[in-house]
Amino acid sequence: MDVHEQSQGRRNPKPTLDQLTFALQEQMQQVGLSSFTALARAAGVARGQILKLRRGEVGQIRVETLLKLSQALQVPLEELVAIFSGKNTKTTQRQASADLEHEYQRLQNLLEQQRESLYYEFQNSSLQLLESWLIQWPTAAQKAQENPQLAAVKLLPLMRPLEQLLQQWGVEAIASVGTEIPYDPQIHQLLEGTAQPGDRVKVRYTGYRHRDKLLNRAKVSPNNNLPFG
């Protein structure tokens, strides 16, 4: 704040409750609002926020609320803050702009978080619908590859776009059908027999992870009782 602004602040004492109430009522009349209740309803804010405005407690009101009030009163935000704070207009405008920028950034971050959350929920609900296909398809595809005479082998290239979409979503297969891996009860489900952690098992149906979250365990069968290594 420069010397001129400081001297202005000394010459202009903070307005009283009556003065601010009168100023607010004048502006309300210009936009056809007959009561503080009507203003609160038009702006979509609580009556307590109107009282803070009349008391000159602008600093205690969120920028988002001030924006709603300025729109209801049809007054620029900077002007509204300047009138009801009793501060120098230039100083108030700078502060209001900084507060507005901060609030804008906060809302942008919130929207981005909500977008990410909705996108993840969409993926998750879609994968739940596809769960049966996800489990059965790799096994059917493996059998088709082992027997090129099957008509189903012609369908394999048609499924490539869907497989690419799943990769883009971060869906990861735990293991390929037919592979032999060490048994891990956390991510494997025995279809028959028994096995101890580390025993060899053969993958019958693929399991999946989605962004490090386990969707379903791979279905396996014991191969022998010899541990890996």
Q: What is the pLDDT of residues 59-107, one digit of tens each?
A: 888 888 989 999 999 988 888 888 887 654 555 556 666 666 777 788 8
pLDDT tens-digit profile of 38-69?
999 999 999 999 999 898 888 888 888 989 99
DSSP sequence for 207-222: -EEETTEEEEPEEEEE
Average pLDDT over residues 173-181: 89
Please say whether the beta carbons of 144 and 150 come within 8 A: yes
Question: Burial of 156 by CB count in 10 Å (0-12 exposed, 13-18 middle, 19+ buried)?
Answer: middle
Distance, in Å, from the CA atom of 43 to the CA atom of 37, rounded to the nearest integer, reads: 10
- Output the average pLDDT for the chain: 80
CA 181, distance to chain mean position in Å, is 38
Per-residue pLDDT band for 33 (boundaries 50, 70, 90) equals: very high
Per-residue pLDDT band for 12 (boundaries 50, 70, 90) equals: low
* The pLDDT value given to residue 182: 93
Please say whether the beta carbons of 170 and 211 come within 8 A: yes
* The pLDDT value given to residue 38: 92
Domain map of the chain by residue range?
3-106, 131-227
Lowest pLDDT segment from 36-40, 112-116, 176-180: 112-116
Average pLDDT over residues 191-215: 89
* The pLDDT value given to residue 3: 35
* The pLDDT value given to residue 5: 43
* The pLDDT value given to residue 180: 92
* The pLDDT value given to residue 2: 42
Statement: residue 137 has pLDDT above 80:
no
CATH of 131-227, one of 1.10.357.10, 2.30.22.10, 1.20.120.350, 1.20.200.10: 2.30.22.10
Statement: residue 6 has pLDDT above 70:
no
Per-residue pLDDT band for 227 (boundaries 50, 70, 90) equals: very low
